[in-house]
Structure 1
Amino acid sequence: MSREELIRTFSPHVADAVTRPFEIPLLTHREGWDTGARRLLAAPDLADSAPKGTPVGPRDPRLMYHAEMLPVITPALRRGLHDARRQLRKNRFSSVGRATNMIIDGDRGCGKTTLLVQIGRGYQGLIETDLGPDANRIPVIYITVPSERESTLHWSLPFAEFLGLNHTLNPTDRTRRPSDMTEPVTHVMHNARARLVLVDGLDRLADNEIHGAFDYFETLQDRTRATFVYCGTGAADIVHEARYGRRRKNLPNAVKGTARPDTQPVLWAGAIDYGDDWHSVVKGFDDDLRLYDHIPGTLVKMSRYLHKRTGGYINTLNDLICTAAQDAIETGTETITRPLLDTIRTGRHDTW
């Protein structure tokens, strides 16, 4: 998985690919997902930006870009995307039995949701490049675990929301109680050829909700042949509980980060140790900065300091660098320095 492959998921022949929108799309709605999935990921060119010293507005392209920058390939992202592509390629042309699902697990702040979204983005890019854009096709569905989970009605609602289906008994009064949308959802998923369902926030499930949730997922899978990817801290244990009635961590010889023969493939994300992988990640941020006075290699020279500040957690590193870059643009300093980084609170290792 090269950096170019990660950033440019779509073929140039996909006509409706778009640049970063002003309003951040809500991925749990189809329109928002499509907008996010079809974004052309590119850093602004300094030659096309407002000259140095020009006052910046709240929607300055460089200010917006440094809110998240480009995805940097971490070890978990590289391995996870590689494994997911292999499994999805196999599932796409398999006709017997349920598709093999996947699990994304790991510590908080290690990029699990980033991996989940990139898997979906890459798969949608593959389908649209292979078959061409089709307004009636919905290759990927992205949902988060809902706040209410007592019945199939509640589980049907995030799917209905994504697909744009009205789920109230009285369409003219949104305050009326919703109806179970399982039948309309499965009908639309089948006709729209939905083949990948991304379920984020699996760690929100209480123990007594696990079996009901997975009964629902398996019902949808049996009727649509979609592959499900479950994401959340402890997701491997939750899926194992759903399938076998007991957690992996309570089984003999269970080891975190190792897949047991009786589980679905697990894509693991963890903190990055200080070493070559960490240096590579920091260099990725260093290369992607768009600051007028940035000297290439500045962040790399602070690699050990950055690891102490973040503990090797990619989300914390992203917050630290992006916040510093935006501050450098607004103040006109146009460079990231150790004193600037010292003033930024990350919520992790602030007492370093």
Structure 2
Amino acid sequence: MVTRQPGPDVDPQLQALTSLSGWRQFASELPAIPELLDTVTWQDLDPGKRAHYDDDRIAHHSRLLVVQTPAVRDVVTTGRRLAHMNRAARFGRSGLIVSGPARTGKTTAITQLGKTIEVIHRRRYPGCADHIPVIYITVPPAATPRMIAAEFARFLGIPVTRQANITDIIEAVCGVCADVRTTAICVDEIHNLNIATRPGAEASDTLKYFSERIPATFVLSGINVERAGLLSGPRGEQIAGRYSMVRTGPFPRDAQWATLVAAIEGSLRLHRHPAGALPDLAGYLHQRTGGMIGSLLWLIRSAAIQAVIDGTEKITRTSMDAIPVDIASQASSTRQGKP
């Protein structure tokens, strides 16, 4: 049975990973890959069943396929090791920073780490439904200390009134985290912290204070964190001294890239798509996407959905030529030229 997408009556905010309900849904879901019917059965489906079958396949192709890339494995392995090391630490806990260009799988990597920690915790404490082992937040643009604290509170479901000062919010967050046994905190879009400004520096201090008060492993992720200035100056030196780093980047055009393309092709559910067609286009795909896994997934997922909608049931170079990719990949494609 295929996991359905949320209906129109479901509040999208409740599905967001930055809400407790959305995170729990993400951490617990195991979406099934729909069965590909044999040609005769498929062609004999009546219009209603055919539409239902196609909807299931479109939903499958629209979901972000998690590929166990070296970066994902490295982040999950390193993060779990740090979590074990920090379990008995009373101070000086170590954290992890995931840094790299856009669309290189940073968010996928840290959310998979969080999901892994959540699943392990649930298995270890099956009767503790009130536990919140993992928190996931994103840093708002031009973040201030109060905005950072409010993101924690929003995830935990702590009401934040206009009258509440930042100390009240911090104390409430730290108290709840202790009660619900939070062990990992994932902070995405960390590049939005501009420590060159006073509000940004104070927001960075607030995040550091949370890391000292909450006995959890902090995992930060952002675009080219080293260049964003987060590791510069006295504050940056403190962060650099407590965090290790995993860097993500574009894939080179090599055997690993071809293997990645083949793995994605293996998840397709299209009736006329010949096996090996996408690996044969590995060079073209690298040129179109600049080796960025996020751009690759976007292109193939879009082409697969279009193939179901228009009835061609296969992905070709011609069909992918009609699908625009992100601006960064287009610029890379122009620099590389045709394969």
TM-score range, shorter chain: 0.7 to 0.9
> Hey, what does 1:255 align to over in structure 2?
none
SS at match of 2:243: coil
SS at match of 1:288: coil
Segment of structure 1 superposing worse, 33-42 or 81-90 = 81-90
Structure 1 residue 308: Cα displacement: 0.8
Q: Which runs of 5+ in 1 are unaligned?
A: 1-17, 170-176, 249-259
Segment of structure 1 superposing worse, 141-150 or 220-229 = 141-150
Q: Deviations over 1:208-259 (max 9, x none)?
A: 24432232123222222111111101324544237555799xxxxxxxxxxx
**In the aligned structure 1, how far is the partner of 2:109 from the partner of 2:146?**
29
1:329 corresponds to which of 283, 302, 308: 308
Equivalences for 1:57-72 in 2 at 5 Å?
60-72=55-67
Q: Is the 8 A contact 1:105 1:231 kept in 2?
A: yes
Structure 1 residue 193: Cα displacement: 0.8
Distance change in 2, residues 1:59/1:132 (3 Å): farther
Q: Deviations over 1:64-96 (max 9, x none)?
A: 11113421122222222222222223223x233
1:81 aligns with 2:71: no
Structure 1 residue 263: Cα displacement: 5.7
> Hey, what does 1:118 align to over in structure 2?
112
SS at match of 2:76: helix
SS at match of 1:123: helix
1:43 aligns with 2:27: no
Distance change in 2, residues 1:243/1:38 (3 Å): farther
Distance change in 2, residues 1:48/1:85 (3 Å): farther
Matched residue type, 1:315: G
Equivalences for 1:263-274 in 2 at 5 Å?
264-274=243-253
Distance change in 2, residues 1:293/1:58 (3 Å): closer
Distance change in 2, residues 1:109/1:133 (3 Å): farther
Moved runs in structure 1, 4+ residues, more than 6 A?
A: none
Matched residue type, 1:290: R
Q: Deviations over 1:108-136 (max 9, x none)?
A: 11011111111111110111112215221
> Hey, what does 1:32 align to over in structure 2?
22
**In the aligned structure 2, how far is the partner of 1:195 from the partner of 1:95?**
12
> Hey, what does 1:158 align to over in structure 2?
151
Question: What number of residue pairs does the alignment pair up?
Answer: 314
**In the aligned structure 2, how far is the partner of 1:32 from the partner of 1:48?**
36
Equivalences for 1:159-174 in 2 at 5 Å?
159-169=152-162
Equivalences for 1:1-352 in 2 at 5 Å?
19=3, 21-22=5-6, 25-47=15-37, 51-52=42-43, 54=47, 56=51, 60-92=55-87, 94-147=88-141, 149-150=143-144, 152-169=145-162, 179-180=165-166, 181-206=169-194, 207-208=196-197, 209-236=199-226, 238-241=229-232, 244-245=235-236, 262=241, 264-347=243-326, 348-349=329-330, 351=334, 352=337
Distance change in 2, residues 1:335/1:247 (3 Å): farther
Q: Is the 8 A contact 2:153 2:159 kept in 1?
A: yes
**In the aligned structure 2, how far is the partner of 1:143 from the partner of 1:230?**
10
Compute the TM-score of the two structures, normalised by the length of structure 2. 0.84
SS at match of 1:270: coil
Structure 1 residue 59: Cα displacement: 8.4
Q: Deviations over 1:178-229 (max 9, x none)?
A: 6431111111111111111111111112222443223212322222211111
**In the aligned structure 1, how far is the partner of 2:5 from the partner of 2:256?**
32
State the identity as a percent. 31
**In the aligned structure 2, how far is the partner of 1:342 from the partner of 1:229?**
38
Q: Is the 8 A contact 1:43 1:69 kept in 2?
A: no
Matched residue type, 1:187: G
**In the aligned structure 1, how far is the partner of 2:99 from the partner of 2:226?**
6
Q: Is the 8 A contact 2:83 2:216 kept in 1?
A: no
Q: Deviations over 1:258-311 (max 9, x none)?
A: xx8x46210111000011110111011111101112222111111111111111
SS at match of 2:62: coil
Q: Is the 8 A contact 1:320 1:344 kept in 2?
A: yes
Distance change in 2, residues 1:245/1:283 (3 Å): closer
Q: Is the 8 A contact 1:68 1:318 kept in 2?
A: no
Compute the TM-score of the two structures, normalised by the length of structure 1. 0.81
Q: Is the 8 A contact 1:291 1:334 kept in 2?
A: yes
**In the aligned structure 1, how far is the partner of 2:106 from the partner of 2:308?**
29
Segment of structure 1 superposing worse, 326-335 or 213-222 = 213-222
Segment of structure 1 superposing worse, 126-135 or 313-322 = 126-135
Distance change in 2, residues 1:59/1:130 (3 Å): farther
Distance change in 2, residues 1:345/1:247 (3 Å): farther
